[in-house]
Amino acid sequence: MSLHDQPSFSERDPYSCALTTVTAAQIFQRLRLRFYFLEFYRPFREDHNSIQLKMVASVSDALQGTIFERERAFIELPANVQEEAKSLFAYFISSEGKTELTKHCGSKKCKTGSFQTIKGSAFLSLVEASLKRGDDTEPKSETSAALSPTPEEIKQLAYALVFCGLLTPYKENESPIGPFSFDTELYVVVISLSAENEEGMSVWRVKEGAIQAGFLKRKGSGIFSNLRGSKKAYVIVNETQKLLGIFESDHALKTQSVIQFTAESWVEFDSNIANAIKVHNKDDSEVLIASSKEKAEEWLNACINAGAQYREAFTKNIDEVTSFYELSDFDMEHKEISMSNYKGKVLLIVNVSSMCGLTPANYTDLVALDEKYRDQGLQVLAFPCNQFANQEPGTHEEIMEFVKQYKCTFPFFEKADVNGAKARPVFMYLKAKLPGSFGNFVKWNFTKFLVDRDGKPHKRYAPKDPPLSFEDEIKTLLAAETEKVEKASTTADETVVDSNKEAKTAEKPDTTEDTQVNTAGDEAKQEESTDEEGGG
């Protein structure tokens, strides 16, 4: 941490002194005291193994702000300091510990409400007393003074308790991890803040279960919103609590707004503001503006993961499309290709990327399907997209060079979006016809769509569904079309046979009329013969 007045968190036992000043017996005695300390607080850790005590091994880069910087700092502490801090944390959130803590606390009023506070010096004394737990039954000796925790050790543990969220400075520093002045500063007891009252929900209350956190611009609401513009706000999306919380700062003690995600909540890209998303439920609506298109996509994706449904804001023109074959896209040479070129084929349409963990398996399967069923009418179409964690960053030339290793011979279209205002029409149409579990939203790379030979969207498959896993479905579509063609051919043959029969019937002479004509002719000849004979 390299802060000038911050205690040294060296990898040593917090009860040890310099080895030159203690004997082996004293070191052994210190280890015994630490054992008694941990044993004393063990029941509190077992009884209060709540979500607040779950310390992770690392903190995602998607989580920014004071509380997460402190969590990262806590993870960097020596293991023994972490263990003791967890033990004391468990104790102070117990009824017994809260009672003891409250004895040293006062109340402070400010614009955000009234909160329980404690002087830093009083807290250090409380920590010192806590470190001596288990020592009460030990016989006193001439080494007792040497065995007492040092001021540095006390301050180490005080820092650790700030890092893990027991309390926070009433006046925050520029640096979230200190230095802290326990001699003069006042601290807010975070665990005293109301958990039930939304007005008292601090950033610490939504830390556990958070999947996205950071600063965004918040567009004002009401008739004067355009005049007021947007203000910086700290935002947390919490998957466990299924909410989006908006705060004035990253150490705020209460929320400005909370959107609880329910079945009626939805999120979409804002069509009027660059890099903005709209988040709605039946009671509230927020417009949040990110620093870039990629960041906006991250926040939208986080809202979906936390329970919001995705709504495509740009479906009006797509609703007017009556057939898949009306659509077109551009290939890697920027040539416009109509989907009508693929009439009569079963289409497997995939948004692809080069740097995804799913890339090798998916390309291998796609090539296998292409080689096996292309002659039977299957057509694989690949659509590169860089919307998911920037995993398709290359140029068109670089993408085509990359896929050579998989021996891809199916068509590739130019790199473009599959979600948002600039989403390619093919995917806009397929998403509308085959919505997934997140609504009209492509969740990740290698989402797959099957389209039958009539251009009808047939089925959608998730990114983790290997292409070969639905090979039977492809065979069914191909076979069904073959049967259809054979049936049509048989019907056509029967029609031709019937037509030939009618034609032959029409061409055959009418024997009745011929007989009648011939009979009449014979009678006439007979009469002529009789006349001739009679005349003779």
Q: 423 with 309: CB under 8 angstroms?
A: no
Q: Which of 105, 164, 303, 356 does the annotation list as catalytic? A: 356
Question: Quick count: other Cβ atoms within 10 Å of Cβ 334?
Answer: 8
For the question of residue 356 being annotated catalytic, the response is yes
Q: Alpha-carbon distance 255 to 270, whole Å?
A: 24
Nearest partner of 73 among 197, 147, 13, 159, judged by Cα: 159
Q: 234 with 250: CB under 8 angstroms?
A: yes
Question: Which residues lie closer than 8 Å to 135 by C-beta, 6 or more apart?
Answer: 33, 36, 147
H helical segments located in 133-197: 144-147, 151-163
Question: Which residues lie closer than 8 Å to 198 by C-beta, 6 or more apart?
Answer: 255, 258
Q: With both helix axes pointing from N to C terminus, report the angle between 120-131 and 151-163 in degrees, rounded to the nearest 10.
A: 110
Q: Alpha-carbon distance 241 to 262, whole Å?
A: 11
Q: Alpha-carbon distance 525 to 35, whole Å?
A: 143
3-state secondary structure of 186: strand
Q: State the sign of the Cα–Cα–Cα–Cα dihedral 310, 311, 313, 318.
A: positive
Question: Quick count: other Cβ atoms within 10 Å of Cβ 168?
Answer: 23
Nearest partner of 286 among 230, 218, 224, judged by Cα: 218
Neighbour-count burial of 91, counting CB atoms closer than 10 A to its CB (0-12 exposed, 13-18 middle, 19+ buried)? buried
Q: Alpha-carbon distance 369 to 473, whole Å?
A: 12
The amino acid sitting at 370 is D
Query: Which residues carry out catalysis?
Result: 356
